[in-house]
Chain A
Amino acid sequence: MIARFVLRRLLELALTLVAASFLVFGAVHLAPGRPETFLLGGRAASPEALAAIRAQYHLDDPFFLQYLKWAGGVLTGDLGRSMQYRSPVLGLIEARLPSTLLLITMAAVLVVVLGIGLGRLAAVGGPATDSAVLVGTSVALGTPSFVAAIGLLWVFSVQLGWFPTIGSGDGLPDMIYHLTLPSLALALYWTGWLARVTRGAMKDQLALEHVTVARSRGLPERLVIRRHVLRNALGPVATVSGLTLSGLVISTVLVEAAFGIGGLGALLESSVQVKDFPVVQAITLLVVALFTVTNLIVDLCYPLVDPRVRLGVRSDAG
């Protein structure tokens, strides 16, 4: 039963990724202009050179064959060759992954800790605290990461001089130091968002009778909030983790641009500017895969959070 469910979900995941990769590849293929002109960057080239380039990037094959070759390559870890850097995409991504991964991890920790903490505070801290958190999260939800970056740079780098304005540093401690402001900028919006989600889920629980029953049985309020309100609100919070994570990843494009960090986001940005499609394709597929895989993991783990939900059984348990 469970094995079959997992298998089915894995199949669905594979189909989603195939469809997504097809969309990505198709969109690139339909783009106006010829890829080789991007490759040449406007320089004139002999017909022989053009033919060689077209052959190297399989540009003369029919569309479907091109897709199959590309998809087959992706499956074997070959994400294609960057036109800009004339080297394998995978290597480019690997080289930029550490700083971006660290940035996202730091931001994700901030989002989870502060988001859930503030949401809890708003839900149980009384009307004044609630209003304060609502105002704070409203501002956070109106502040895109690059605006937050500008604000943080102005206050902490220019005015106070505590943090560097550019770069991602070398060695872990230095990297963490360099990435402090970027991770704060990245986390701000999503912290506000998760705080709102947590607050809403906890308020929903607080209105339920089982919380009244728990109170009527003489349980300390602290225990009621932790065991019956916060714990029960974690399900709805967990279901948005895929969205949060892919949102953090894509926002690195902005934060890395603002802080001059040579990570994955910066790679995507520069590839877009020069129309280096293999890189754009690969990173797009990576983000989509991250979203769908995260959602799959959350789905598979959901029965641990909510015993009413059994794997393979559709339930309207909320």
Chain B
Amino acid sequence: MSAVDPIIHRPVLAGLRTGRNRLYLTCLAFAALMVAVALAGPWLAPADPNASDLGAALTGPSPAHPLGADAAGRDTLSRLLAGASASLLGPIAVVLFSTVAGVLVGVTAGWFGGWPDTFLSRAAELLLAFPALLVAIVFVSLYGTGLAAPVIALSLAYLPYVSRLARNLTLSERRLPYLAAYRVQGFSGLAICVRHLIPNIAPVVLAQSSVNFGYALLDLSALSYLGLGVPPLTPTWGSMINDGQSALLQGHPLSAILPCAAIVLTVVAFNVVAEHWADRVSRRRG
């Protein structure tokens, strides 16, 4: 049986892989495009995203406003492009911070074991009891508007997921003989961790972190939909939906539906890419 299994499953998986590859590549291209737009958004916008052209308020697509204008007469295309910045750069920052901090905490816990491990793992468990969106809402209410508070809050909320993974990987990596060999040769723990252990666990951790991007985008756009954590005059997709909702209820859906589509497409594209990476990493590790 055991000898037969790989023969049985390989071709099926191969078929699946090629079938999904096209989807993966499409999503990768879309995600890359979105990141480019996020970086260049403010310069791409054909008009000032806050300039109000009241004559065009709630009009549909026209040469002046390719995707129409919202209730305040602001150009929807320009706001979408400008909104990409705040909508995407925030999640990227969250992924960055939570990964760095999570690896730090997780590797420390796993490497030292004993009470540091107990303390850090318990603390992480405690954090897991707080839904990320709740932490973000509380932080914004406490520490005010701006992207910093929600980004820090979400980094903190996602930290346990990364640190738990990093800790378990460290524990299993520590059992491998090659690490013991380095120790015998007199390398310091820090040197081993930085030069061997962290590079070895990095692919798995990064795959998990890339999955977190989608969550962060959802949570941050939820905050901006509620009008929390966004500096005034900075359009984000979430705040655009909030602005456009009453127009939608009166029968002018474009200014609310378009940012909705932007969120869904972006998150789905990033999720497909992240899942593909996680899949590939887990397959490579056996």
Contacts and interface: CB of A to CB of B under 8 A. Distances in A.
B1 to A, nearest CB: 8
Given A147-B260, A150-B241, A151-B260, A142 B129 contact: no
Contacts of B130: 20, 284, 287-288
B154 interface: no
Given A147-B264, A253-B133, A154 B257 contact: yes
Nearest to B260: A147
Interface string A270-294: 0111010100100010011001100
Q: What is the predominant secondary structure among interface residues of chain A facing chain B?
A: helix
B129 A292 contact: yes
State which size class the interface on A falls in: 35 or more
B135 to A, nearest CB: 9
Interface string B191-235: 000000000000000000000001000100110011110000000
Interface in A129-158: 138-139, 141-147, 150-151, 153-154, 157-158
A142 to B, nearest CB: 4
B137 A19 contact: no
B222 A142 contact: no
Interface in A152-180: 153-154, 157-158, 165
B263 interface: yes
A16 interface: yes
Contacts of B241: 146-147, 150
Nearest to A38: B141
B131 interface: yes
A247 B222 CA distance: 13
A272 B228 contact: yes
A126 to B, nearest CB: 13
Interface in A19-39: 19-20, 23-24, 27-28, 30-32
A16 B129 contact: yes
B140 A144 contact: no
Given A146-B241, A150-B257, A272-B138, A141 B126 contact: no
A280 B129 contact: no
Interface in B234-286: 238, 241, 245, 248-249, 251, 253, 256-257, 260, 263-268, 271-272
B134 A138 contact: no
Contacts of A157: 249
Contacts of A292: 129
B129 A268 contact: no
Contacts of A268: 137
Nearest to B249: A165
Contacts of A253: 133, 137, 222, 226
B184 interface: no
Chain A CB count within 10 A is highest, among B129, B143, B144, B218, for B129
B134 A250 contact: yes
Contact of B264 (A139, A257, A291): A139
B263 A144 contact: yes
A257 B223 CA distance: 11
Interface of A: 16, 19-20, 23-24, 27-28, 30-32, 138-139, 141-147, 150-151, 153-154, 157-158, 165, 209, 246-247, 249-251, 253-254, 257-258, 268-269, 271-273, 275, 277, 280, 284, 287-288, 291-292
Interface of B: 1, 125-126, 129-131, 133-134, 137-144, 214, 218, 221-222, 225-228, 238, 241, 245, 248-249, 251, 253, 256-257, 260, 263-268, 271-272
14 contacts: A30-B142, A32-B144, A144-B218, A146-B222, A151-B257, A151-B260, A154-B248, A158-B249, A246-B131, A249-B131, A253-B133, A253-B137, A254-B226, A271-B141
Given A139-B264, A142-B265, 4 more contacts: A143-B264, A250-B131, A250-B133, A269-B137
Q: Closest 7 interchain pairs by CB?
A: A142-B267, A142-B268, A272-B141, A31-B142, A250-B131, A147-B260, A144-B218
